[in-house]
Structure 1
Amino acid sequence: MYANDLTNRLIPSVLHSKLSPPALPSPPILCVQFLRIERKRKKRGRDWKRGRSMADLFAWLLFFFVLIALLVLVVYQLMCLADLEFDYINPYDSASRINRVILPEFITQGVLCVLYLLTGHWVMSLLNVPYLYYNVRLYTQRQHLVDVTEIFNMLNWEKKQRLFKLGYLIFLLFISLFWMIWSVLEEDEHSHS
């Protein structure tokens, strides 16, 4: 009974009150508010694009430095092989120096491929897959280390293998440089618009 009494009191007061539609703001105020909202949306969009392009730029810089590290490791291996070829160092020292940097090279290349995947650069990741596959295949077949007793017999093969890696890494470096410059120009374009 109490609930019916309460509804009988509330409903008539709501029904009998003079409800008028809410007053609309005058058109000039509405336009100014709309323009403010649009400016905020555009600014948010520009800030988002700017933040995205800045993140892209930092990602390309990171890729660039990782590729430089890979190039240094491969060039170091080539220098050790050249020193061995010209008899500046003995086979044991050459093999131990090369074997010391092979796993860091493989790990760095794997990290680079994962970084490409995490940042959404699918094409660059696909370009890294053959190199990664080759390194994984060498590692799983236990052919990644240089054998001290066979280093003179395999010297030409080892040099060719590392020269091919060097050429491939230089190719990837130029592509990364292109995209890094592209993202800088895109960032500059967004900052001026």
Structure 2
Amino acid sequence: MGDLFVWLISFFLLIALLVLVTYQLMCLADLEFDYINPYDSSSRINTVVLPEFIIQGVLCFFYLFTGHWIMSLYAAPCLYFNVRLYRQGKHLVDVTEIFNLLSWEKKQRLVKLFYLVFTLFISVFWMIYTSMDD
């Protein structure tokens, strides 16, 4: 029964990550279609970047501490990418360069979105498998 709660917590953390990445993609799409100015778009994206990185780190270490080694190893590349972006200072969107990097930023967040959706499917599968086993 305790393992089911672990999968439920990871499910909610993954949903939070999906919401944050989708919000960033929506801000970039609004900027691309000229519904919002670059300053508002970059400030909205920059406010949710660090919470996204923190939740990703918590999720990776949560898998590690609960004994789900494969899921922890699966979450580690995304955590490494986030840490590398943070250390290089490229984690925030620059107002002056946002139009030049718009396609790169969208592709980066789309890859994260697909990665998180796949992780969510794996998590749901293991949650169902664990509930059927108990």
TM-score scaled by length of structure 1: 0.69
Is the counterpart of residue 60 in structure 1 residue 7 in structure 2? yes
Counterpart for residue 133 of structure 2 = 186
Any idea what the Cα deviations from partners look like across 1:109-133, whole Å, max 9, x if unmatched?
0000110011000000000010000
Unaligned runs of 5+ residues in structure 2 are: none
- Asked if 1:94 is matched to 2:41, the reply is yes
Give 1:125-140 correspondences, 5 Å limit. Answer: 125-140=72-87
Structure 1: gaps (5+ residues): 1-53, 188-193
Matched, 1:106 2:32: no
Superposed counterparts of 1:27-176, under 5 Å: 54-176=1-123
Displacement of 1:175 after TM fit? 0.3
**In 2: Cα distance, 1:140 partner to 1:154 partner:** 19
Distance in 1, Cα, partners of 2:66 & 2:52: 21
Query: Matched residues in 2 for 1:127 and 1:55: separation?
Result: 22
- Give aligned pairs, total: 134
Q: Of the two, which has the highest radius of gyration?
A: 1
TM-score norm. by structure 2 comes to: 0.99
CA RMSD of aligned residues (A): 0.3
Deviations 1:16-43 (A, max 9, x none): xxxxxxxxxxxxxxxxxxxxxxxxxxxx
SS at match of 1:145: coil
Which aligned segments of 4 or more residues in structure 1 are displaced greater than 3 angstroms? none
Q: Quick one: which amino acid aligns to residue 163 of structure 1?
A: L
